[in-house]
Chains A and B, each alone.
Chain A
């Protein structure tokens, strides 16, 4: 009965590979997000989708492509992985105009 679930929890891959992270929420929220947390624990927004429509697209390399097949799912595909992509990626959801986000437990991506 996890509210926001991400898979996988850990991902170790070589430079140049393509990988995907999946996210699902069962809260009925309208908006979903991807955040990146760096080694200093700073959380930075990458994307947000409202009801399958892209709302926020921060200055993220176009190797990162979010996809939302429906409002309960938001996946993140990363092409040509680089060492600097190593971080923890968090999916989150919220109800539009509500005041609180629910986060998943994160995906630790390590690029070697």
Chain B
């Protein structure tokens, strides 16, 4: 069974702190996507990384795809309360199958 493990599972921090979320697997993915989900809504795509070693930046969010395309990380600089939510990584497998990670619930306090 393919599995994407995310760590930490829960993260509770103060506004202004930095954080990193990790996404690890033994499977190789053609791409790795990160989503954020808020209560009562579906996941919303943040970024897709495709090339091993690729780094993408979206304002205060930095995403990295591992060299072997099995793992990824999400780093948030100077977290804000608006960053609160459930962060999900998802790996693209052959036959158009996208499997999701176990999720990281982030709470940022003012």
Contacts and interface: CB of A to CB of B under 8 A. Distances in A.
Contact size range, B: 20 to 34
B82 interface: no
Report whether over half of chain A's contact residues are helix, strand or loop; otherwise say mixed.
strand
Given A45-B97, A48-B96, A100 B45 contact: yes
A99 B45 CA distance: 10
Interface string A57-82: 00000000000000000000000000
A106 B40 contact: yes
Interface stretch (B13-21, B68-76, B98-106): B98-106
Contact of A105 (B41, B86, B92): B41
Interface in A1-43: 4, 31, 33, 35, 40-43
Contact of A31 (B35, B50, B86, B96): B96
Contacts of A92: 42
B97 A56 contact: yes
A107 B39 CA distance: 13
A92 B102 CA distance: 19
Interface in B36-64: 37, 40-45, 48, 50
Contact of B103 (A33, A41, A44): A41
A52 to B, nearest CB: 15
Contacts of A35: 100
Given A100-B45, A103-B42, A104-B42, A43 B88 contact: yes
A55 B98 CA distance: 13
A55 B95 CA distance: 8
Interface of B: 31, 33, 35, 37, 40-45, 48, 50, 86, 88, 90, 92, 95-100, 102-103, 105
